[in-house]
Amino acid sequence: MTAQARNYILRRVIMLIPLTLGLSIVIFALIHLSPGDPALAFVSEQNADPRVVEQIREDLGLNDSLPVQYWRWLSKVATLDFGVAYTFNRTPVIDLVGQRAWGTIQLQIMSLVLSLVIAIPIGIISAKRQYSAIDNAATVGSFLGLAIPNFWFALMLQLLLAVQLGWLPSSTAGQDVRWPDRGLYYIMPVLVLSLSLVATFVRFMRSSFLEVIRQDYITMARAKGLDERTITYRHALKNAIIPMITIIGLQLPRLLSGSVIVETIFAWPGLGELGYRSILSRDYPVILALTLLTGVFILVVNIIVDVIYVLIDPRIAFE
Amino acid sequence: MSDAALLRDADDLHRLTRKPESQWQIVWRNFKRNRLAIVGGVVVVLLYLIAIFAPFLPIQDYAQLNSGQRLQPPGAEHWMGTDRQTRDVFARLIVASRISLAVGFVSVAIIMVLGVVLGAVAGYFGGFVDNLVMRVTDVFLAIPQLFLLLAAAALFTPSLRTTMLVIGFTSWMGTARLVRGEFLRVKAQEFVHAARSIGASNVRIMVRHLLPNTLAVIIVQATLWLSFAILLESSLSFLGLGAQPPEPSWGGMLADGRRDMREAWWMTTFPGLAIFITVLAFNLLGDGLRDAFDPRQRRR
């Protein structure tokens, strides 16, 4: 590793500290500037005794000034203590997140792998036969893929595959299903999450490959008589695929946004569904924890992506 | 060489002998060659016409009940069937277009103002200001947008106004980055130094000299964000945190239809198609505009 590359990586990692602090301030401010009263989430009746509500506010520390509340929250968060949820039987937030993280991660990884497996070959073929029927079909297809709302796609799949044809279970009501039958529950959520990813990846892979095959070293390879296969897979593909790493990192927030929709529709026990339910019940500790953790996760993944990029292509560090 | 290409070359030759075209004429000429973009543009215009003239169209009132016609399938009387409350789905679909397009319009206006101002200031002044603005951008980009949208929409009272504001305030980052890049690129050019040397103020340079040069980026961004904003609004309404009943919105209609999916496929199919066609049209238009503005794409 060159000194430039090392400095670059170090700079990126140090940058993580102010970014995380900024993130925590934005999220904290958003939640505490809103007009709703979280204390009301505890009282079931509509006309609760004001004294009871006041007591709850006192217990939760909601009567302190905002900077005090922020500091208290931050110093706990630093030790991964997000407090207990207001709802969900008052389970510690970190346990809730822990129980559900795996469900979301499974879906994300499966959709990422599936979309890459589909999109990379299509992108390459598209680029190699620019303006052919296949290329036009791929372009139109990716336009359609980006325009179909994911929640509508989910409903249409449910309508067709579960309601009409009865091939797949419509949602994840029974979690105790054993493998391999359990695999059936994954199909629709993964398809829905993959839709816009495939479209994005195809378009990106195509333009990246087009750029690479116009370069001199490819002409050189052709001039010295290498066959098309070797040029495509040994010479062009390696360079064309590097920018894809960045795009994968950039798609992550969208993928997590998608999991809110998908997990809610398919009743999937994951972080997206947890987020949606905690938002509906104004469960502040859960909302704070989820938004902060996903934010930090995305920042870290993007740094890892950049580091991988620099290790593969050290020219970046000099820019 | 095909006939079309020959004709195009003859066209180009002819152009050389005339007075030079303005930039807008060039853009229009490039745009016209892209058939998909034209289709997108026509659909967008039609959608706006429908939305604007919806109150005058010969359709049922969107709230009118048709007694005894519960969950009727599409037919001559109700083109897209009726819902559980016996209301005409087609009429509701038309009226809902007003919401989608209005939300799109207002949120994109907010996005553009925030994105252009922040991007311009960061790109023009550079240094500390640039660093600060760009790090704030990074922070906002790190939060999955739907999380932020849902949280904000739920914490404030869910309504159309909240939806517009929230979409606007959580979507400006991409535009800010692009505008900053353009300002960085253009401010290094000689005419900017010339303007400064004759004593033009910072504001004047930014507004009169740099902004017109970033107009292409801004127009393309605005068109593409119209489609994203409509998609976001319908997601929010679908999750019950956007437009509130009885106001008809495409996302809300889908949420209604979901409950009756087993008996009434039309209630989930048509509103989804409406969102899909609208988003597709804006995307095609935006993409066509981008190609038309980009000098490297010329003579493709």
Whether A30 has its CB under 8 Å from any CB of chain B: the answer is: yes
Q: How many A×B Cβ pairs under 8 Å? A: 137
Q: Is residue B141 a contact partner of residue B173, using CB atoms and an 8 Å limit?
A: yes
Helix, strand, coil tally for chain A in percent (to 5): 80, 0, 20
Residue B124's pLDDT is what?
A: 92
Comparing A178 with A281, which gets the higher pLDDT?
A: A281
3-class SS at B83? coil
Which pair of structure tokens corresponds to residue A78? 């630093």
Contacts of A44 (CB under 8 A, 6+ apart): none
Q: In this model, does residue B1 exceed pLDDT 80? A: no
Residue A177's pLDDT is what?
A: 67
Q: Is residue A168 a contact partner of residue A187, using CB atoms and an 8 Å limit?
A: yes
User: Residues of chain A with pLDDT > 70: what percent?
Assistant: 89
Work out the average pLDDT over B234-241: 90
Q: Is residue A31 a contact partner of residue B155, using CB atoms and an 8 Å limit?
A: yes
CB nearest to B142's CB, from A156, A258, A295: A295
Residue B298's pLDDT is what?
A: 43
Residue in A130, A144, A151 to test binding to B, most B beta-carbons within 10 Å:
A151
B238 to chain A: nearest residue by CA? A151
Which pair of structure tokens corresponds to residue B203? 């504001």
CB nearest to B156's CB, from A35, A156, A257: A35
Q: Show residues of chain A in contact with B144, CB under 8 Å.
A: 253-254, 256-257, 260, 294, 298
Q: What are phi and psi of B82, to 5 degrees?
A: -125, 165
Which pair of structure tokens corresponds to residue A205? 């892979």
Tallying the residues shown for chain A, one arrives at: 319
- CA distance linking residue A73 with residue A83, whole number of Å: 9
- What's the CA angle centered on B16, arms B12 and B18, to 5 degrees? 115
Whether A298 has its CB under 8 Å from any CB of chain B: the answer is: yes
pLDDT tens string B95-140: 889 888 999 999 999 999 999 999 999 999 988 999 999 989 988 8
- What's the CA angle centered on A135, arms A129 and A136, to 5 degrees? 140
Whether A114 has its CB under 8 Å from any CB of chain B: the answer is: no
Query: Any alpha helices (H) in A90-132, and if so which ranges?
Result: 93-128
| Averaged pLDDT of chain A | 83
Cα A154 from chain centre: 18
Whether A36 has its CB under 8 Å from any CB of chain B: the answer is: yes
Nearest to B232 by CA among B253, B258, B251: B251
DSSP string, B38-65: HHHHHHHHHHHHHHHHGGGSS---TT--
Rounded to two decimals, the pTM is 0.84
Tallying the residues shown for chain B, one arrives at: 300
pLDDT tens string B22-44: 778 888 888 888 888 899 999 99
Q: What is the DSSP letter of B157?
A: P
Residue A189's pLDDT is what?
A: 92
Comparing A288 with A110, which gets the higher pLDDT?
A: A110
CB nearest to B283's CB, from A143, A155, A302: A143
Say whether B148 and A149 touch across the interface (CB within 8 A): no
Say whether B269 and A156 touch across the interface (CB within 8 A): yes
Say whether B257 and A155 touch across the interface (CB within 8 A): yes
3-class SS at B88? strand
3-class SS at B139? helix
Q: Show residues of chain B in contact with A291, CB under 8 Å.
A: 143, 147-148, 151
- CA distance linking residue B181 with residue B184, whole number of Å: 5
- CA distance linking residue A221 with residue A227, whole number of Å: 9
Identify the H or E element spanning A259. Answer: helix A237-265
Work out the average pLDDT over B49-66: 80
Q: Show residues of chain A in contact with B287, CB under 8 Å.
A: 143
Comparing B272 with B27, which gets the higher pLDDT?
A: B272
Say whether A280 and B139 touch across the interface (CB within 8 A): no
Which pair of structure tokens corresponds to residue B258? 């979901």
* Smallest Cα distance from A21 to chain B, Å: 9
- CA distance linking residue A38 with residue A60, whole number of Å: 9
Whether A280 has its CB under 8 Å from any CB of chain B: the answer is: yes
Model confidence band, residue A46 (pLDDT cutoffs 50, 70, 90): low
DSSP string, A3-15: HHHHHHHHHHHHH
Q: Is residue A149 a contact partner of residue B266, using CB atoms and an 8 Å limit?
A: no
Whether A136 has its CB under 8 Å from any CB of chain B: the answer is: no
Residue B88's pLDDT is what?
A: 81
Q: Which residues make beta-bridge pairs with A84? A: A92
List, as ranges, residues 147-186 from A with C-beta within 8 Å of B: 147-152, 155-156, 158-159, 163
Cα A207 from chain centre: 24
Q: Which residues make beta-bridge pairs with B88? A: B82
Cα A164 from chain centre: 31
Nearest to B98 by CA among B149, B62, B143: B62
Q: In this model, does residue A149 exceed pLDDT 80? A: yes
Comparing B253 with A174, which gets the higher pLDDT?
A: B253
Model confidence band, residue B300 (pLDDT cutoffs 50, 70, 90): very low
Which pair of structure tokens corresponds to residue B165? 């504001």
Q: Show residues of chain B in contact with A149, CB under 8 Å.
A: 231, 234-235, 272, 275-276, 279
Q: What is the DSSP letter of B189?
A: S
Say whether A147 and B280 touch across the interface (CB within 8 A): yes
Q: Is residue A279 a contact partner of residue B154, using CB atoms and an 8 Å limit?
A: yes
Comparing A67 with A115, which gets the higher pLDDT?
A: A115
Residue B68's pLDDT is what?
A: 72
Q: Show residues of chain A in contact with B268, CB under 8 Å.
A: 152, 155-156, 159
Comparing A124 with B9, which gets the higher pLDDT?
A: A124
Q: In this model, does residue A187 exceed pLDDT 50? A: yes
Model confidence band, residue A120 (pLDDT cutoffs 50, 70, 90): very high
User: Residues of chain B with pLDDT > 70: what percent?
Assistant: 91
Sole residue written with tokens 């517009």: B164
Contacts of B283 (CB under 8 A, 6+ apart): A143, A146, A147, B40, B224, B227
* Smallest Cα distance from A262 to chain B, Å: 11
Residue A303's pLDDT is what?
A: 85
Q: Show residues of chain B in contact with A296, CB under 8 Å.
A: 142
User: Residues of chain B with pLDDT > 90: what percent?
Assistant: 31
Say whether B151 and A152 touch across the interface (CB within 8 A): no
* Smallest Cα distance from B277 to chain A, Å: 8
Say whether A257 and B145 touch across the interface (CB within 8 A): yes
Helix, strand, coil tally for chain B in percent (to 5): 75, 0, 25
Q: Show residues of chain B in contact with A26, CB under 8 Å.
A: 139-140, 143
DSSP string, A194-236: HHHHHHHHHHHHHHHHHHHHTSHHHHHHHHTT--HHHIIIIII
C-alpha dihedral, B21 to B25 to B29 to B34, nearest 10°? 150
Cα B79 from chain centre: 28
Rounded to the nearest 10 degrees, the angle between the axes of helix A237-265 and helix B145-155 is 30
CB nearest to B146's CB, from A146, A260, A296: A260
Q: Is residue A151 a contact partner of residue B252, using CB atoms and an 8 Å limit?
A: no
Nearest to A298 by CA among B174, B139, B168: B139
Say whether A149 and B231 touch across the interface (CB within 8 A): yes
